[in-house]
């Protein structure tokens, strides 16, 4: 699964004040208009620029390709329990058959058996597997998730998000993404 990013839109990669992206998935990007507005409001530092400029009769400015916030934004400690974050935790993969299409979420212990809608009881499942399992317990259905459900950290979700880069990554962004990969000599 990839997020469509248009190179013609000239988006700016947004970094926190510590030079880490605010988010990997979706990648923290602002439109060039929002980036320019943040520059004029003195909320960001320009780290890198595109060759393209915007001009008025009395002013010209190259468009920012990477900006960093001047004020550090504290990341949330516990990610929100959302359908999207469950899918991201499970790498957009059915936890029963491995399919990537038609995802929904499944209660491992069905609600009919007292299962709750929590990180520890919900997994990504394709619709056919979800229907096949129905309200049966995993052992009775013969369907045990590949990965035991768990409450992810923000770091877990960032790490998984790195596996799903957008279709376009500008060269000026590369020094600020994937910094835990080995450097080339």
Q: Sketch out the chain's domains with CATH numbers.
A: 7-69 (no CATH), 83-154 (1.10.30)
Q: What is the pLDDT along the chain (185 residues), one digit of tens a residue?
A: 444 556 678 999 999 999 999 887 788 999 999 999 999 999 999 999 999 999 989 989 999 999 999 999 998 888 999 999 999 999 999 999 999 999 999 999 999 999 999 999 999 999 999 999 999 999 999 999 999 999 999 889 988 887 877 777 888 998 888 644 444 45
Q: At 129, which helix (H) or strand (E)?
A: helix 127-133
Q: What's the confidence (pLDDT) of residue 178?
A: 66
Longest CA–CA separation in the chain, Å: 73
Instruction: Tell me how far the alpha carbon of residue 166 is from its chain's centroid.
Output: 10
pLDDT at residue 170 in the model: 87
* Residue whose entry in the numeric block shows the structure tokens 């000026």: 172
**Structure tokens given for 116:** 């709750």
The answer to whether the beta carbons of residues 63 and 36 sit under 8 Å apart is yes
What totals of helices (H) and strands (E) does the chain contain, helices first? 5, 6
CA end-to-end distance (rounded Å), the chain:
31
Tokens linked to 52: 């393209």
For residues 145 and 83, give the distance between their C-alpha atoms in angstroms, rounded to a whole number.
Answer: 17
Q: Would you say 95 and 123 are in contact if contact means Cβ atoms under 8 Å apart?
A: yes
Q: Give this prediction's pTM.
A: 0.73
> Dihedral, CA atoms, 107, 108, 114, 116, nearest 10 degrees?
-50
Cis peptide before 10 (omega within 30 of 0): no
Per-residue CA distances from 180 to 31, 69, 79, 175, 183 (Å): 27, 21, 22, 11, 9
**pLDDT at residue 2, rounded to an integer:** 42
Beta-ladder partners of 53: 62
Q: Are 85 and 92 in contact (CB under 8 A)?
A: no
């Amino acid at each position: 699964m990839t997020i469509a990013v248009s190179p013609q839109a000239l988006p700016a990669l947004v970094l926190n004040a510590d030079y880490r992206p605010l988010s990997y998935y979706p990648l923290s990007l602002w439109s060039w208009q929002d980036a320019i507005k943040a520059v004029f409001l003195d909320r960001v530092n320009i780290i890198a620029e595109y060759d393209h400029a915007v001009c008025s009769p009395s002013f010209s400015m190259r468009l920012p390709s990477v900006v960093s916030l001047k004020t550090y934004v504290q990341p949330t400690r516990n990610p929100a329990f959302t359908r999207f974050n469950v899918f991201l935790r499970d790498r957009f993969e059915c936890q029963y058959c491995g399919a990537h299409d038609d995802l929904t979420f499944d209660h491992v212990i069905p609600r009919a058996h007292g299962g709750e809608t929590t990180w520890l009881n919900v997994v990504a499942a394709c619709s056919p597997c979800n229907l096949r399992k129905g309200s049966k317990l995993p052992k009775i259905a013969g369907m045990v998730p590949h990965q035991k459900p768990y409450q992810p950290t923000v770091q877990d979700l960032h790490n998984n998000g790195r596996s799903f880069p957008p279709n376009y990554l500008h060269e000026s962004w590369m020094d600020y993404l994937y910094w835990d990969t080995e450097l080339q000599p």
